[in-house]
Structure 1
Amino acid sequence: MKIMKIRILIILFCISLMLIVVSIIDSFEHGYTDQPVESDLIVMLGDGEDSRMQQAAHLYYEGYADHVLIIPVVESDDLNQSTALAMEYGIPEETLILEYEAISTYTKATITMDIMEQRDMDSALIVTSDWHIKRTKYIYDKLNDGRFDFKYISALPFQDGRWHEGGDGFYVWYSEYIKLWVYRMGIYWWSE
Structure 2
Amino acid sequence: MGKRRIIIGGILFICLVFAVSYPIIISNLIIDEEPVQSDVIIVTEGQMIVRAYRASELLHEGFSNSGQIIVSPITEANAQGYQTFGVSKEQVIPETEATSTYENAVISLEMMEDYEYDSAIIVSSDYHMLRTKMIYERVNENYNYNLTYVAAYHLVEDEFVPWYEAGTGTKAAANREFWKYWGYLLGLYHFFNL
TM interval, short-chain normalised: 0.7 to 0.9
Q: CA deviation at 1:62?
A: 0.5
For 2:111, the equivalent position in structure 1 comes to 115
Query: Which structure 2 residues correspond to residues 57-136 of structure 1 after superposition, within 5 A?
Result: 57-65=56-64, 66-76=67-77, 81-82=78-79, 84-136=80-132
CA distance in 2, matches of 1:40, 1:33: 19
User: What is residue 155 of structure 1 aligned with on the other side?
Assistant: 152
Question: Deviation string for 1:68-94 (max 9, x for gaps)?
Answer: 111101113xxxx21x32122111222
Shift in Å at residue 173 of structure 1?
3.0
Give 1 or 2 for the bigger CA radius of gyration: 1
How far the C-alpha of 1:96 sits from its partner, in A, is 1.3
Give the match for residue 186 of structure 2. 185
Aligned AA for 1:137?
Answer: K
Q: Which moved more, 1:12-21 or 1:32-41?
A: 12-21
TM-score, normalised to structure 1, is: 0.83
- Residues 140-159 of structure 1: per-residue CA shift (max 9 Å, x gap): 01111152111111112x53
State whether structure 2 residue 135 is matched by structure 1 residue 139.
yes
Q: Provide the C-alpha distance between the structure 1 equivalents of 2:39 and 2:69, rounded to a whole number of angstroms.
A: 9
Tell me how large the CA RMSD over aligned residues is.
2.5
TM-score normalised to structure 2 length:
0.82
Structure 1 residue 97 displacement after superposition: 0.2
Aligned partners of 2:30 and 2:128 also within 8 Å: no
Structure 1 segments of 4 or more deviating over 2 A?
11-22, 158-162, 168-171
Alignment of 1:164-175 (within 5 A): 164-165=164-165, 166-175=167-176
Question: In the comparison of the two structures, how many residue pairs are matched?
Answer: 181
Deviation of 1:54 (Å): 0.7
Residue 43 of structure 1 corresponds to: 42
Q: Determine if contact 1:48/1:128 at 8 Å carries over to the other structure.
A: no
**Structure 2: how far apart are the matches of 1:12 and 1:114?**
40
Structure 1 gaps of 5+ residues are 1-5
Q: Could you tell me whether the CA contact under 8 Å between 1:72 and 1:100 is conserved in 2?
A: yes
The AA in structure 1 aligned to 2:97 is E
1:18-33 superposed matches below 5 A: 19-29=17-27, 30-33=29-32
Over 3 Å counting, the alpha-carbon distance change for 1:63 and 1:20 in structure 2 is same
Q: Distance in 2 between matches of 1:131 and 1:48?
A: 14
